[in-house]
């Protein structure tokens, strides 16, 4: 019979364990005892009760504060415990939550469980990032240094501190207390262990878990966390978590070792990152945009298509893999990048919001892979209609799910067409014609550009194709075709 408290539509599991309070009779103290002796005896009894019930002194103090309706005095009461007793564990280190004597709240032999689905997207950049590089000012990054950085990044071998996480967007949305919980969850997942966390609120746990996963696309080996509640008389006293892994630690390590050289090759080729030169963020992001599209085929049934393995190793993926690969590479270079989930054109979708050159921009790598057909000619090309958009432009056919706050995108300078000078506010046929002429001379057969409004779009297509002015700029071309993206006001010409 299925446990009525178990749900299978998400991925945080709860396992409740209960510790029954036991009573011991205590001896009285003679009136002649000194105050010091009474205090020592009280501490010993307190510690004895704590260890007898497999809980820490802090847990016991909190429990009795609640029982005696002194919860509001708990913070001041705990200050009377010496510092070394505050951190004292309840037992010799073994975890009693999974012991033979544990019982579930619902009275069945099986522990109750909940699964809460994790999802991602995210928030605001910090002023500094541990992973940020000032390429050019510090010179080139050597091959060995780059390899070491990627290894540490993939395996999470560095200390998980406030400083190490300060460059992550979601992390910076949290309060100091929540940041501590974030680091505890990240520590449990990346170090493959179970540990206590500093909250008793499962809703808070779920929220912060989502933030962790939204920030860290390099965690490809888990799809959730289990959590275990320890209780005394149905009062939760602590929660511990551990990852819900999709593969063994050995398998994850093998994937990490395989991903390393692939990522190293990509990053070593990014203009202005490892070569000691200086380029702006747009140039770096455009390179990554191009690389992911050129090296990856969109395939709905691809293996591991929800994570970076599908892009870096298998080269077949779906939107989630594209978006996480972009986030991983961008963040590694110190460029804040969010993984955004929602819908696009009626179906579930994922894309990115990236902080380029001082402003946030919408970027959809998946929509950058395009094909145009003309007669017997088919052309695959990179479509830049979704590189560097404002919210107004992106949300014409994209909708975010609001799981995590996403920053406003209003800047236009790093829109691909504005940046490259291929944005037209009038029907400048000569400039467009010369673009086609130069493309043909360099061996290309596709050009693309963006216009300001529908009237300009109609005027351009009328002159170029109805009036056949496009052939004034092309040699030995008898026919050509064009495709319009009305929502993004872009035109692609194939010749």
Report the distance separating Cα 85 and Cα 363, nearest Å: 52
Q: What angle do CA 407, 454, 440 make, to 5 degrees?
A: 95
**What pLDDT score was predicted for residue 152?**
75
Mark whether 463 and 430 lie in a shared domain. yes
Same-domain status, 62 and 126: no
CA proximity to 205, closest of 188, 222, 191: 188
Question: In this predicted structure, what is the pLDDT of residue 102?
Answer: 30
Structural domain includes residue 235: no
3-class secondary-structure state, position 47: helix
Q: Please name the residues in contact with 354: beta carbons below 8 A apart, sequence gap of 6 or more.
A: 281, 285, 326, 330, 335, 336, 337, 338, 360, 361, 363
Residues 309 and 401 in one domain: yes
In the chain, which stretches have pLDDT less than 50?
1-11, 13-36, 50-55, 74, 84-137
Q: Has residue 238 been placed in a domain?
A: no
Domain membership of residue 492 as a residue range: 421-495
Question: What's the pLDDT at 115?
Answer: 29
425 within a domain of the structure (yes/no) = yes
8 Å CB contact between 308 and 328: yes
Q: Is 490 part of any domain?
A: yes
**Residue 108 in domain:** no
User: Are 274 and 140 spatial neighbours (Cβ–Cβ below 8 Å)?
Assistant: yes
Quote the DSSP letter at residue 356: E
Domain end among 420, 439, 464: 420
User: What is the structure's pLDDT at 70?
Assistant: 55
pLDDT value of residue 251? 96
Whether residue 6 is contained in a domain is answered as no
Residue 106: inside a domain: no
pLDDT digits (tens, 9 = 90+) for 440-494: 999 998 999 999 999 999 999 999 999 999 999 999 988 888 999 999 999 999 9
Same structural domain for residues 61 and 74?
A: yes
Per-residue CA distances from 416 to 131, 285, 324, 413 (Å): 26, 11, 21, 8
Both 473 and 416 in one domain: the answer is no
| Predicted pLDDT of residue 140 | 82
Q: Are residues 342 and 471 in the same domain?
A: no
Model pLDDT, residue 69 = 55
**Beta carbons within 8 Å of 33's beta carbon, 6+ residues apart:** none
In this structure, the answer to whether residues 183 and 297 fall within a common structural domain is yes
pLDDT value of residue 114:
29
Q: Are 367 and 255 within one domain? A: yes
- Residue 68 Cα to chain centre, angstroms: 43
* pLDDT score recorded for residue 421: 96
Residue 399 token pair: 């909708």
Distance CA 156, CA 237 (A): 30
Task: Say how many domains are in the chain.
Answer: 3
28 & 131 share domain: no
Domain boundary among 83, 98, 113: 98
Quick check: is 30 in a domain?
yes
Q: Verify that 322 and 309 share a domain, yes or no.
A: yes
| Domain end marker among 380, 399, 420 | 420
Question: Residue 346's pLDDT is what?
Answer: 86
Please tell me whether residues 472 and 330 are part of one structural domain. Answer: no
Q: Does 448 lie in the same domain as 332? A: no
What end-to-end distance do the CA atoms of the chain give, in Å? 65
Helix (H) or strand (E) holding 211: helix 202-215
Q: How many CB atoms lie within 10 A of CB 423?
A: 17
Instruction: Write out the DSSP string of 26-79.
Output: -----TT--HHHHHHHHHHHHHHHHHHTT--HHHHHHHHHHHTT-GGGHHHHHT
């Amino acid at each position: 019979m299925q446990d009525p408290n178990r749900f299978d539509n998400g991925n945080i599991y709860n396992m409740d364990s209960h510790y029954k309070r036991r009573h011991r009779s205590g001896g009285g103290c003679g009136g002649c005892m000194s105050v010091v002796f009474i205090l020592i005896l009280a501490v010993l009894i307190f510690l004895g009760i704590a260890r007898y019930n497999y809980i820490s002194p802090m847990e016991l103090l909190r429990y009795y504060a609640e029982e005696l309706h002194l919860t509001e005095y708990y913070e001041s009461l705990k200050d009377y415990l010496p510092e070394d007793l505050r951190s004292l564990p309840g037992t010799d280190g073994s975890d009693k939550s999974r012991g033979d004597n544990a019982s579930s709240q619902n009275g069945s032999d099986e522990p109750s469980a909940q699964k809460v689905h994790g999802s991602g997207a995210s928030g605001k950049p910090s002023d500094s990032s541990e992973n940020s590089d000032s390429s050019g000012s510090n010179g080139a990054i050597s091959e060995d240094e780059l390899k070491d950085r990627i290894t540490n990044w993939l395996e999470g071998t560095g200390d998980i501190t406030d400083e190490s996480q300060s460059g992550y967007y979601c992390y910076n949305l949290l309060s100091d207390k929540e940041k501590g919980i974030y680091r505890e969850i990240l520590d449990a997942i990346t170090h493959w262990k179970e540990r206590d966390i500093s909250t008793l609120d499962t809703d808070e746990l779920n929220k912060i878990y989502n933030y962790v996963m939204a920030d860290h696309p390099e965690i490809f080996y888990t799809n959730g966390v289990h959590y275990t509640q320890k209780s005394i008389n149905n009062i939760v006293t602590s929660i511990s978590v551990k990852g819900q892994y999709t593969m063994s630690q050995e398998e994850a390590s093998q994937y990490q070792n395989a991903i390393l050289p692939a990522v190293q090759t990509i990053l070593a080729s990014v203009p202005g990152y490892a070569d000691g030169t200086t380029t702006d963020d747009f140039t770096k992001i455009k390179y990554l945009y191009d690389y992911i599209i050129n090296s990856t085929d969109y395939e709905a049934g691809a293996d591991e298509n929800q994570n970076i393995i599908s892009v870096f190793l298998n080269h077949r993926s779906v939107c989630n893999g594209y978006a996480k690969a972009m986030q991983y590479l961008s963040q590694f270079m110190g460029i804040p990048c969010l993984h955004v989930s929602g819908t696009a054109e009626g179906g579930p979708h994922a894309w990115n919001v990236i902080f380029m050159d001082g402003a946030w921009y919408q970027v959809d790598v998946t929509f950058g892979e395009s094909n145009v057909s003309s007669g017997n000619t088919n052309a695959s090309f990179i479509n830049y209609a979704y590189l560097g958009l404002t919210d107004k432009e992106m949300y014409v056919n994209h909708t975010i799910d609001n799981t995590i706050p996403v920053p406003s995108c209003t800047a236009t300078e790093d829109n691909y067409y504005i940046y490259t000078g291929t944005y037209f506010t009038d029907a400048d046929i000569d400039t467009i014609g010369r673009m086609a002429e130069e493309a043909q001379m360099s061996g290309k057969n596709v050009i693309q550009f963006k216009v300001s409004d529908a009237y300009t779009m109609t005027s351009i297509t009328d002159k170029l194709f109805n009036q056949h002015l496009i052939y004034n700029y092309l040699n030995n071309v008898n026919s050509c075709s064009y495709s319009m993206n009305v929502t993004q006001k872009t035109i692609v010409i194939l010749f």
